Amino acid sequence: MKNWVVKILALSMVLVLFVGCSGSEDSSQGANDNASNDTQAQTDADSSESTGDTSEGNTEGSVYFLNFKPEIEEVWQKIAKEYTESTGVDVKVVTAAAGTYEQTLRSEIAKNDAPTLFQINGPVGYESWKGYTQDLSDTDLYSWLLDKSLVVTGEDGGAYGIPYVVEGYGIIYNDAIMDQYFASASKSTSYNSMDEINNFQALQAVVEDMTAIKDELGIQGVFASTSFSTGEDWRWQTHLANLPIYYEFKDKGVGDAAEIDLTYGQEYKNIFDLYINNSITKPTLLSAKTVNDSMAEFALGQVAMVQNGNWGWGQINGVDGNVVAEEDVKFLPIYTGVEGEENQGLCTGTENFFSINSQAPEADQQASIEFIEWLFSSEEGKNYVTNEFGFIAPFNTFGDDETPTDPLAKEVLRYMADDSLTSVSWNFTAFPSQQFKDILGYSLLDYAQGTGDWNGVEAAFVDGWKDEKAATAQ
At 206, the amino acid letter reads V
3-class secondary structure, 336:
coil
Q: Which of 25, 127, 138, 251 binds other proteins (CB under 8 A)?
A: 127
51: contact with other proteins by CB under 8 A: no
Q: Which of 153, 184, 229, 366 binds other proteins (CB under 8 A)?
A: 229
Nearer to other proteins among residue 104 and residue 336 (C-beta): 104
Characterize the bridge pairing of strands 159-163 and 353-356: antiparallel
Q: What is the largest CA-CA distance in the chain?
A: 109
Q: Which of 55, 270, 294, 433 binds other proteins (CB under 8 A)?
A: 433
Q: How far is the CB of 287 from other proteins (least distance, A)?
A: 4
48: contact with other proteins by CB under 8 A: no
438: contact with other proteins by CB under 8 A: yes
Q: Which of 48, 143, 201, 230 binds other proteins (CB under 8 A)?
A: 230
Nearer to other proteins among residue 187 and residue 235 (C-beta): 235
3-state secondary structure 254-309: CCCCCCCCCCCHHHHHHHHHHHHHCECCCHHHHHHCCHHHHHHHHHCCCEEEEEEE
The secondary element (H helix, E strand) that includes residue 93 is: strand 91-95
Beta-carbon count within 10 A of 43 CB: 13
3-class secondary structure, 5:
helix
At 474, the amino acid letter reads Q
Residues 6+ apart with CB under 8 A from 92: 50, 53, 54, 55, 62, 63, 64, 65, 80
Span from 12-20, 96-104, 156-164, 315-323 in contact with other proteins (CB under 8 A): 96-104
Q: Are 92 and 64 in contact (CB under 8 A)?
A: yes
Q: Are 75 and 387 in contact (CB under 8 A)?
A: no
Sign of CA pseudo-dihedral 144, 149, 152, 158 = positive
Q: Which of 12, 186, 201, 284 binds other proteins (CB under 8 A)?
A: 284
**Residues linked to residue 353 through DSSP beta bridges, in sequence order:** 120, 163
Q: Which of 7, 78, 106, 252 binds other proteins (CB under 8 A)?
A: 106
Nearer to other proteins among residue 81 and residue 282 (C-beta): 282
78: contact with other proteins by CB under 8 A: no
30: contact with other proteins by CB under 8 A: yes
User: What Rg value do the Cα atoms of the chain yield, rounded?
Assistant: 27
288: contact with other proteins by CB under 8 A: yes
Q: How far is the CB of 218 from other proteins (least distance, A)?
A: 23
Q: Which of 75, 79, 124, 324 binds other proteins (CB under 8 A)?
A: 124
Beta-carbon count within 10 A of 107 CB: 12
Q: Cα–Cα distance between 216 and 282 in angstroms, integer?
A: 20
277: contact with other proteins by CB under 8 A: no
339: contact with other proteins by CB under 8 A: no
Nearer to other proteins among residue 374 and residue 454 (C-beta): 454
Nearer to other proteins among residue 217 and residue 445 (C-beta): 445
Q: Are 308 and 332 in contact (CB under 8 A)?
A: no
Nearer to other proteins among residue 406 and residue 468 (C-beta): 468
Q: What is the per-residue DSSP string for 123-178? A: HHHHHHHTTTBPP-TTSHHHHHBS-GGGSEE-TTS-EEEEE--BEEEEEEEEHHHH
37: contact with other proteins by CB under 8 A: yes
226: contact with other proteins by CB under 8 A: no
Length of the chain: 474
The binding track of 128-167 with respect to other proteins, each residue x by CB under 8 A or -, is xx-x------------------------------------
451: contact with other proteins by CB under 8 A: yes
Nearer to other proteins among residue 64 and residue 173 (C-beta): 64
435: contact with other proteins by CB under 8 A: yes
220: contact with other proteins by CB under 8 A: no
Q: How far is the CB of 372 from other proteins (least distance, A)?
A: 23
Q: How far is the CB of 355 from other proteins (least distance, A)?
A: 14
Kindly determine how many residues on this chain lie close enough to bind other proteins according to the rule CB under 8 A.
44
- Residues of the shown chain interacting with other proteins in the complex, contacts defined by CB under 8 A: 27-28, 30-32, 34-39, 100, 102-103, 106-107, 109-110, 124, 127-129, 131, 229-231, 282, 284-285, 287-288, 433-435, 438-439, 442-443, 445-446, 449, 451, 472, 474
